[in-house]
Chains A and B, each alone.
Chain A
Amino acid sequence: MVANTQMMAAAGLALSRATKLAYAPVMVNMHEQGAIEDSALMLRYVDGDTTAFETLYRRHNDGLYRYLLRLSRHPETAEDVFQEVWGKIIKARANYRPTAKFTTFLYRVAHNCFIDHVRRNKRHTHAQIFEPENQPDPSEQPEALTERSLARRRLNAALLDIPDEQRDVFLLHEEAGLNLDEIASITDTNRETTKSRLRYAVKKLRAAIDEPVETS
């Protein structure tokens, strides 16, 4: 509790008086939750606190990277878009307003950047497809490695099979932890369409997981 209080005080220190007044609800919410919210961290970064940005970045970098990697199915494309997304977040920091969750804001930028990237060049459709099973963990036991490798392969194959829109919705749900309304706002669709896409995606993936293991 004491540690939380100190952390919250530290979060408030770097914020200017005007920012504190303007975004008092965010700060109150932060105090209620006992942790520094993403929006508060972003506001601290707007005030020049780079450690706040680092904390924020470390929270979301891997999830965003996986989202882009599985959406694009190409590591180079994922890296390009990933860098572009964070570049835009950094550039737009002065205009940042915590009117919505930071995660929604981040993934909306990522979604739009990916669509722009696909429109700009079609590289990701012709390039080598991402194969996660090519990078096994050497510390795993051979049996576990085989089971894990097979499950990974089936799931990835199923993810590649489902349409882009369904994969996008599923990844936004899993990686960003967004609900249907938030996903609908990001993908610029209505709630029912989003729900339908998610249902189909989950159904196909479930079928792939439940598929009996072929023994050779």
Chain B
Amino acid sequence: MTDERKITDMAVDVDETVSRAYREVADESAPERLNQAILGQARKAARPRYARSRAWTRPLAWAATVALSVAVVLEVMQLPTPDGVSFDKVGPEADVQRDAPLDALEEEVPAAIAPGRTSNFVAQPPEKSDLMRRTAAKSEPVFEERKREASEKMAEPAPAIAAPASADELAETQYKDRDESVRTQSFALSSSIAACPDELTREPSTWLECIVELEAAGRSDEASEQRRLLRETFPDFESP
């Protein structure tokens, strides 16, 4: 502000007589009830937001949260599994127990195999075997019956077959057994269809001889079937 401006301002602004007169008459004060209301409003606004809420709401909220959590956990623990097992333990042990049925059978069945018979189960790593052993022990009451059944079943005398040295040999043996069975069945079938070899059925006379041999051998059904086929194949041939 320049000096000239200051002087002008003073000339205009400062009229002590008027100012003093005004000061003498202007002695009103703000009502005390207004003062208290505004100061109260200021104090209320300055309080932290959480302190403004009722004091009991926060503990109540915590208590409700804890109660709900406990209720949900208890409810989940009492839920039955598909096998009818209830998880009365929580934590890692319960997780292991949940997988117990299959693991326990895997553990127990090879142990019950008759001596001398090789299992086709692949050897498990040590950790896995320990785990399975522990789970089997924990689930003992539940799977005792299955274990016993498996033991009884596997304790029966095994058929006297040569024990294959490996899983491949076992598979081959099984394949051979099955192949033999199939061959037996197909022989029975083919014998009913072709009791006479093809080379004999090319000529009616030789076919007839074959039929006679069958009749002579007591295979009358087959002989009748062959005779019918002979008539169908060679209708002009006069069979005796």
Q: List the interface of chain A (C-beta within 8 A of B).
A: 45, 48-50, 53-54, 57, 61-62, 64-66, 69-70, 79, 82-83, 86-87, 90-91, 93, 132, 148, 151-152, 155-156, 173-175, 179-180, 195, 198-199, 202, 205-206, 209
Closest 8 CB pairs of A and B: A65-B30, A152-B25, A86-B38, A61-B30, A53-B42, A50-B43, A62-B29, A205-B18
Write out the residue numbers on chain B whose beta carbons fall within 8 Å of the beta carbon of A156: 25
Please tell me if the beta carbons of B45 and A90 are within 8 angstroms of each other in the complex: yes
Q: Does B81 contact A (CB under 8 A)?
A: no
Give the residue name and chain of the B residue nearest to A210 (CB).
B17
From A83, A90, A148, A174, B19 is in contact (CB under 8 Å) with: A174
A4 to chain B, nearest CB (A): 26
B209 to chain A, nearest CB (A): 121
From A62, A82, A198, B12 is in contact (CB under 8 Å) with: A198
From A64, A79, A87, B41 is in contact (CB under 8 Å) with: A87
Please tell me if the beta carbons of A202 and B15 are within 8 angstroms of each other in the complex: yes
B66 to chain A, nearest CB (A): 32
Q: How many residues of B contact A (CB 8 A)?
A: 29
Q: A-side binding surface: helix, strand, loop or mixed?
A: helix
Please tell me if the beta carbons of A209 and B42 are within 8 angstroms of each other in the complex: no
A88 to chain B, nearest CB (A): 11
Q: Does B218 contact A (CB under 8 A)?
A: no
Cα distance A93–B38 in the bound complex, in angstroms: 14
Write out the residue numbers on chain B whose beta carbons fall within 8 Å of the beta carbon of A70: 26
Cα distance A202–B39 in the bound complex, in angstroms: 35
Cα distance A202–B31 in the bound complex, in angstroms: 29
Cα distance A180–B5 in the bound complex, in angstroms: 11
Q: Does B60 contact A (CB under 8 A)?
A: no
Please tell me if the beta carbons of B25 and A206 are within 8 angstroms of each other in the complex: no
Please tell me if the beta carbons of A206 and B17 are within 8 angstroms of each other in the complex: yes
Q: Which residues 26-83 of B have a CB within 8 angstroms of A?
A: 26, 28-31, 34-35, 37-39, 41-43, 45-46, 48
Write out the residue numbers on chain B whose beta carbons fall within 8 Å of the beta carbon of A148: 24-25
Write out the residue numbers on chain B whose beta carbons fall within 8 Å of the beta carbon of A132: 25, 28
Starting from the known contacts A50-B43, A152-B25, 4 additional A-B residue pairs (CB-CB under 8 Å) come to A53-B46, A57-B42, A202-B15, A209-B18
Contacts A202-B15, A205-B22 given; does A65 touch B38 at CB 8 Å? no
Cα distance A61–B36 in the bound complex, in angstroms: 11
Q: Does B9 contact A (CB under 8 A)?
A: yes
From B9, B30, B46, A179 is in contact (CB under 8 Å) with: B9
Write out the residue numbers on chain B whose beta carbons fall within 8 Å of the beta carbon of A61: 29-30, 35, 38
Write out the residue numbers on chain A whose beta carbons fall within 8 Å of the beta carbon of B145: none
Please tell me if the beta carbons of B46 and A48 are within 8 angstroms of each other in the complex: yes
B156 to chain A, nearest CB (A): 86
Write out the residue numbers on chain B whose beta carbons fall within 8 Å of the beta carbon of A82: 30, 34
Q: Does B21 contact A (CB under 8 A)?
A: yes
Cα distance A210–B31 in the bound complex, in angstroms: 32
Cα distance A178–B46 in the bound complex, in angstroms: 29
Cα distance A152–B24 in the bound complex, in angstroms: 8
Query: Could you show 22 A-B contacts with beta carbons less than 8 Å apart?
Result: A50-B39, A53-B46, A57-B38, A57-B42, A61-B30, A61-B35, A62-B30, A64-B30, A65-B28, A82-B30, A83-B37, A86-B38, A87-B38, A132-B25, A148-B24, A151-B25, A174-B22, A174-B26, A179-B9, A198-B13, A205-B18, A206-B15
Write out the residue numbers on chain B whose beta carbons fall within 8 Å of the beta carbon of A151: 21, 24-25
A25 to chain B, nearest CB (A): 20
Write out the residue numbers on chain A whose beta carbons fall within 8 Å of the beta carbon of B22: 155, 174, 205
From B13, B26, B35, B39, A66 is in contact (CB under 8 Å) with: B26
Write out the residue numbers on chain A whose beta carbons fall within 8 Å of the beta carbon of B13: 173, 179-180, 198
B43 to chain A, nearest CB (A): 5
Please tell me if the beta carbons of A90 and B26 are within 8 angstroms of each other in the complex: no
Cα distance A195–B12 in the bound complex, in angstroms: 7
